[in-house]
Amino acid sequence: MRWVLLGIATAAAIVVVQMGPRGAVSDRRPLMFITDMDFQPRYNPQAATPFFADGRTMRTPPAGTIPFGGADYDSDAGSPRQNPDFLKSDDAYYRGKAGTAWLARNALPVDIALLRRGQERYNIHCAPCHGATGAGNGVMTQYGMLGVASITDELHTLMPDGQFFDVISNGKGRMMPYAPQVKVRDRWAIIAYIRALMRSQSTTLGDVPEDQRGNLNP
């Protein structure tokens, strides 16, 4: 019986020793019997190394190197195409800036295709908070979200398109940045649609072409 109790006590001690530290924070590498290639020789970015003569791990690309590839292009490894989204050298298109000032008008030609794309993206990303008409009464206001801006009021009507682009990209106040979710071209499409929403707040029947008036809802 004594040996049985001693065995149980030994097993319990082993379990406590093995399981007790679980969840604790440590800077020591965990014990791994099978590493599965988790630990390999490598260099960290911006690190030093004696391997290269200049002592740097990061190598300078050859002169004239330009980025290729990207999801926006129908290309593969055998036929790469240049992707300008990697360079972002056009301040007007990628930042909404004309020098140090905000770009006054849309960086893209506004046509019906752009407006329809903007409407689709607006309804997905913007309408839940700002509402279908931009009045700041989206469905999220029914769940306690207060202070949502009306983006069709006079203040926002005076905002340059470049400033709208910056707010969509980087956020403002409680509004999160949407650059990770919305592509650059779609942000400009949304801005074009917001301008259409603004126009709709002050339009009259005289602004509608006569051959289209029959399509209006009474």
d(CA 188, CA 206): 28
Q: Write out the DSSP string of 1-68.
A: -HHHHHHHHHHHHHHHHHHTTTT---SSPPP-S--TT-S-----TT-B-SSSTTSBSSPPPPTT---B
Q: What is the pLDDT of residue 18?
A: 66
Does the pLDDT value for residue 39 go beyond 60?
Answer: yes
Does the pLDDT value for residue 76 go beyond 70?
Answer: no
The pLDDT tens digits of the residues spanning 51-61 come to: 999 999 988 88
What does each C-alpha distance from 14 to 11, 48, 52 come to in angstroms?
A: 5, 43, 48
Its pTM surpasses 0.85: no
Q: Domain 95-205 carries which CATH code?
A: 1.10.760.10
The residue extents of the domains of the chain are 95-205
Asked if 169 and 179 touch (Cβ cutoff 8 Å), the reply is yes
Nearest residue to 175 via CA among 136, 211, 214 = 136
